[in-house]
Amino acid sequence: MSIKTEEISSLIKKQLAGYEDQISVAETGTVTYVGDGVARADGLENAMSGELLEFSNGVYGMAQNLESNDVGIVVLGDFTGIREGDTVKRTGRIMEVPVGDAMLGRVVDSLGRPIDGLGEIKTTKTRPIEKKAPGVMQRKSVSVPLQTGIKVIDALVPIGRGQRELIIGDRKTGKTAIALDTIINQKDTGVICIYVAIGQKESTVRSAVETLRKYGALDYTIVVSASASNPAPMLWIAPYAGAAMGEEFMYNGKDVLIVYDDLSKQADAYRELSLILRRPPGREAYPGDIFYTHSRLLERAARLSDDMGGGSMTALPIIQTQAGDVSAYIPTNVISITDGQIFLNSDSFYAGQRPAIDAGTSVSRVGGDAQVKAMKKVAGTLRLDIASYNELASFAQFGSDLDAATKARLDRGERTMEVLKQGLHSPETVEEQVGILFALSHGYLDDVPVADLQQFESDLKSFMHANHQDIYDDIKKTGQLPKDDSLDKAIKEFKQTFQTSDQKKAAKDDQQKADTNK
């Protein structure tokens, strides 16, 4: 078989016609060490801090330590497939995550990849996970309330949009429950929610997702999960990824609520990472920049000025304490960064006071400016009532002879504590809260047995919705108590129809006697 020279020359001409003179330049390095979620590589002289790097097996890493002879890289994924001598190349991109409306209702990992089995997320927008917080002139004061639906918080430690309010307490005292209830209460308010679960069991995250789905809250929520089985770098970047997703909405003029659950585990992951990268340890073996780790994250929560679109991002960071010690390193750091804290007391929790919020140590430094005026009026003396009740209760247990004034204060305090109890995942509207607290502060509950107060509140809400919805609507619309005495009259009218459990029992007994006599 002979090969014609014409055919060969035409083939070569075709190949040359399609040739493009392009040179592909990609700066690559060589892995010199890998282990415990970090790698070291030399040959990446121009790598940027926080730059995304790609290993030869497709796993990504993030440049952290830029040293004279090599680069310290945190591996964002499974590091077991990386070996010494593998190549690693620069991408030229700072670490970023996908953002946008397509993320709503989804459960994603720290890199924004879906982990809920519902297919890929169709969005082309991305944002860097690290972004400089808005400056002083780009912000405006907190003045719009963010209702949690929890009476004791909305009355005593109100939260405003753009605020950072810390939820702090021992394990198993209801911190996550408060955060989830707040998310559930944002239904139909236009607030977009982001729940960042850091270092939790995957079963716990699944339970939280199902709770949000059950109450219809998942539709406006993004869940970012870096579970306990993930490597430390994923736990460390999870809150920053969540903040980047929230900023996309905030800079488009929307209101966002973001929960970091919890930053103690993020601090532990960052400590682990820093020690492996051989950064010098400081107090409690945390690196010297642990304060900056949390401050640059929480400062991104803000209420933007009108020139910036007027959006807001409200942060609810959660910190777990050991035996109620709020003076430990990480708790004091985060307390100093935030605008107040909600302290959960384990003694109150086990005594049946739920939510177990300690009114004495909980404070909101800027939320008072955003509190609804009607709530401010009815909750004015609440904190003093609780403080004097706690003080008197500790003395009253030693003596039985109490004067009438002391007994009256104890009775009022007992009823206050009972009214502030609230069931799990049952948030209340601001007008419903104002109604029951008005009844409490004006003495309408003084003759109602403590055991019947929960029933009284439930019946009062039903009565007001059925017969005096206009009063509730007025409070909701104006944020003020009615100028006339219509609320007074409505509660008096309800009290005439309300029967205590003793009265119901007596009426039942009378009915049985009458039936027997027949």
Which residue among 365, 409, 412, 415 is the active-site one? 365
Q: Given this model, what pLDDT does residue 286 score?
A: 96
What is the pTM (predicted TM-score) of this model? Answer: 0.90
Residues 242-279 have pLDDT tens digits of: 999 999 999 999 999 999 998 999 999 999 999 999 99
Tokens 């869940």 appear where? Answer: 223
Q: Which of 456, 485, 417, 453 minimizes the C-alpha distance to 155?
A: 417
The SS3 call for residue 479 is coil
Q: Given this model, what pLDDT does residue 10 score?
A: 80
Q: Given this model, what pLDDT does residue 23 score?
A: 53
The answer to whether residues 330 and 319 touch, using CB atoms and an 8 Å cutoff, is yes
Q: Given this model, what pLDDT does residue 220 score?
A: 97
How much helix, strand and coil, in percent to the nearest 5, is found in the chain?
45, 20, 40
Average pLDDT of 317-345? 95
pLDDT at 15 over 80: no
**CA neighbours within 13 Å on the CB side: how many for 91?**
18
Contacts of 328 (CB under 8 A, 6+ apart): 321, 322
Confidence band for 165, pLDDT divided at 50, 70 and 90: very high
pLDDT at 21 over 80: no
pLDDT at 14 over 80: no
User: Do strands 166-169 and 221-226 pair parallel, antiparallel, or not at all (unpaired)?
Assistant: unpaired
- Measured between alpha carbons, how far is residue 140 from residues 175, 242, 301, 312, 365 in Å? 29, 23, 12, 10, 15
Residues 220-248 have pLDDT tens digits of: 999 999 999 998 999 999 999 999 999 99
The answer to whether residues 298 and 337 touch, using CB atoms and an 8 Å cutoff, is yes
Q: Given this model, what pLDDT does residue 217 score?
A: 96
Average pLDDT of 298-326? 95
Mean pLDDT of the chain: 91
Instruction: List where CATH 1.20.150.20 sits in the chain.
Output: 378-505
User: When comparing pLDDT for 11 and 150, which is higher?
Assistant: 150
Confidence band for 3, pLDDT divided at 50, 70 and 90: low
Q: Given this model, what pLDDT does residue 186 score?
A: 96
Superfamily of domain 378-505: ATP synthase alpha/beta chain, C-terminal domain (1.20.150.20)
Average pLDDT of 279-306? 95
Tokens 């796993």 appear where? Answer: 59
Confidence band for 507, pLDDT divided at 50, 70 and 90: confident
Cα–Cα distance for residue pair 238/220, rounded to 1 Å: 19
Instruction: Indicate if 365 belongs to the active site.
Output: yes
**DSSP secondary structure of 32-69:** EEEETTEEEEES-TTPPTTEEEEETTS-EEEEEEE-SS
- Fold classification of 28-94 is Elongation Factor Tu (Ef-tu); domain 3 (2.40.30)
What amino acid occupies position 276? I
User: When comparing pLDDT for 511 and 20, which is higher?
Assistant: 511
Average pLDDT of 294-309? 96
Instruction: List where CATH 3.40.50.300 sits in the chain.
Output: 98-371
Residue 441, token pair as written in the block: 């502060």
CB count within 10 Å of CB 91 equals 12
- Taking every pair of Cα atoms in the chain, the longest distance, rounded to a whole number of angstroms, is 124
User: When comparing pLDDT for 398 and 194, which is higher?
Assistant: 194
Q: Given this model, what pLDDT does residue 500 score?
A: 80
Instruction: List where CATH 2.40.30.20 sits in the chain.
Output: 28-94
CATH class held by domain 98-371: alpha beta
Measure CA 179 to chain center. 5
Cα–Cα distance for residue pair 58/74, rounded to 1 Å: 14
CB count within 10 Å of CB 213 equals 13
Percent of the chain with pLDDT over 90: 74
